[in-house]
Amino acid sequence: MDHDFDERAATWDDDPGKIERANRVADAIRRAVPLDPSMRVLEFGAGTGLLTQALRDDVGPVTLTDISAGMRQVMEDKVAAGALPDARVWDIDLAEGPLPDERFDLVVSLMALHHIPDTDAVIASVATLLDPGGRICIVDLDAEDGSFHGHDSPVHKGFGRTALAAQLEAAGFTDVSIDDCHSVQRENGTFPLFLAVATAPAG
Ligand SMILES: C[S@@+](CC[C@H](N)C(=O)[O-])C[C@H]1O[C@@H](n2cnc3c(N)ncnc32)[C@H](O)[C@@H]1O
């Protein structure tokens, strides 16, 4: 587990850039996928739940996962305070399983996939958890040289769009599209983010 996120959880939302990023990404998802108030949504690697908060008025029941206990505590506090209505917080790792016997209409994720070593396993889990025709929306870093996290970090150095599209198609997803979404400004550069959207395999 990445304990660093436990330590950062309590002050995560103090950064207006993270809130702005979640709002911009939610706008991009709204443009890419028709949302409706019956949709069952799963967000993995949800952190403090900022993306789901930004989508909350447009979808149905939401489920948030994160492997960081600190992040989950922040989300539980938001649920208790009414900031995340009709929401539940799960301690599951989609790369490890076991998967719950539940199905969803939309799975979203923001800046989490590059922290997960076995991306094939996560994508396969999402394919299982989505009902046929359900959609996956992943927002993450385009391929970079490692300077986003520092060159010694073990996390993925972003993702090549062609390779990610092939990975989604290999898992049975169809109608894969990957487009520009947002960017993160740092002192050492500007890091573009993509939005990958795909449709779950039919049964
Ligand atoms: C960069 S943060 C992004 C948080 C949030 N999505 C946001 O944009 O504010 C990455 C998150 O992914 C979580 N994470 C890392 N590996 C994970 C895994 N295998 N399954 C679920 N969450 C994971 C971390 O605990 C952390 O909260």
Instruction: Indicate the residue type of 140.
Output: D
Q: Which of 50, 46, 44 shows the shortest CA–CA distance to 21?
A: 50
Q: Report residue 15 as tokens.
A: 């950064």
Dihedral sign for Cα atoms in the order 71, 11, 144, 168: positive
**From atom 26 of ligand 1, which residue's Cα is the shortest distance away?**
47
User: Taking the mean position of all CA atoms in its chain, how far away is CA 23?
Assistant: 13
Number of structural domains the chain divides into: 1
Better-scored residue on pLDDT, 130 or 189? 130
Residue 155 sits at the vertex; the CA angle it makes with 104 and 40, to the nearest 5 degrees, is: 10
CATH number reported for the structural domain that contains residue 36 in this entry? 3.40.50.150
Instruction: Report the Cα–Cα distance between both ends of the chain, in Å, rounded.
Output: 32
- Give 114 Cα–ligand 1 centroid separation in angstroms: 9
- Give 201 Cα–ligand 1 centroid separation in angstroms: 25
The rounded distance, in Å, linking the Cα atoms of 188 and 87 is 37
**From atom 22 of ligand 1, which residue's Cα is the shortest distance away?**
45
> What was the pLDDT predicted at 64?
98
> What was the pLDDT predicted at 203?
65
Could you tell me the pTM of the whole model? 0.97
Domain that holds residue 77: 3-199
- Give 46 Cα–ligand 1 centroid separation in angstroms: 6
Q: Is the pLDDT of residue 74 over 70?
A: yes
Distances (CA, A) of 183 to 15, 22, 49, 110, 167: 15, 11, 19, 12, 23
Q: Is the pLDDT of residue 115 over 80?
A: yes
- Give 21 Cα–ligand 1 centroid separation in angstroms: 15
The atom number, within ligand 1, closest to the CA of 21 reads 8
Is the distance from CB of 134 to CB of 59 less than 8 angstroms?
no
Listed as own residue / partner, the contacts of 20-23 with beta carbons closer than 8 Å and 24 or more positions apart are 21/50, 21/110, 21/111, 21/182, 21/184, 22/50, 22/51, 22/53, 22/54, 22/110, 23/54
Average pLDDT value for residue range 141-156: 88
> What was the pLDDT predicted at 1?
46
Q: Is the pLDDT of residue 121 over 80?
A: yes
The rounded distance, in Å, linking the Cα atoms of 90 and 197 is 23
Query: Ligand 1 test: best mutation among 11, 12, 24, 71, most atoms within 8 Å of CB?
Result: 71
